[in-house]
Amino acid sequence: MTDNASGERSEGSEGSEGSDRAQQDGPGYAAMIAELESILADLEGADVDVDVLAERVARAAWLVEACRDRIERAKSEVERVVATIQEGHP
């Protein structure tokens, strides 16, 4: 794992194209999951600030949707690579 320019952690060595894509897409999947876990821990606490509650829930909903999108894009990419391999092209 490496740190990108915004201080986020990214996996692998995808080259400049991969790192450019990660910076354009915002935080990585692992960072979004970590933020969701942090929000959940905050919401499960006894001293939830009602003024912040709606904002945190909205952020969590956005993160869940963004994670689902990342999973779908990764699935599509894997399917594309597998199809390419099955066709015998690198």
3-state secondary structure string, the chain?
Answer: CEECCCCCEECCCCHHHHHHHHHHHCCCHHHHHHHHHHHHHHHHCCCCCHHHHHHHHHHHHHHHHHHHHHHHHHHHHHHHHHHHHHHCCC
In a domain, 18, yes or no: no
Per-residue pLDDT of the chain (90 residues; tens, 9 = 90+): 333 333 443 444 344 344 444 445 678 999 999 999 999 998 888 788 888 888 999 999 999 999 999 999 999 999 999 999 988 865
Q: 63: domain range?
A: 27-87
In a domain, 9, yes or no: no
pLDDT reported for residue 60: 96
pLDDT reported for residue 73: 96
pLDDT reported for residue 58: 95
Rounded Cα distance, 23 and 15, in Å: 13
pLDDT reported for residue 10: 41
pLDDT reported for residue 43: 87
Considering the entire predicted model, what is its pTM?
Answer: 0.65
In a domain, 68, yes or no: yes
Q: What is the number of domains present in the chain?
A: 1
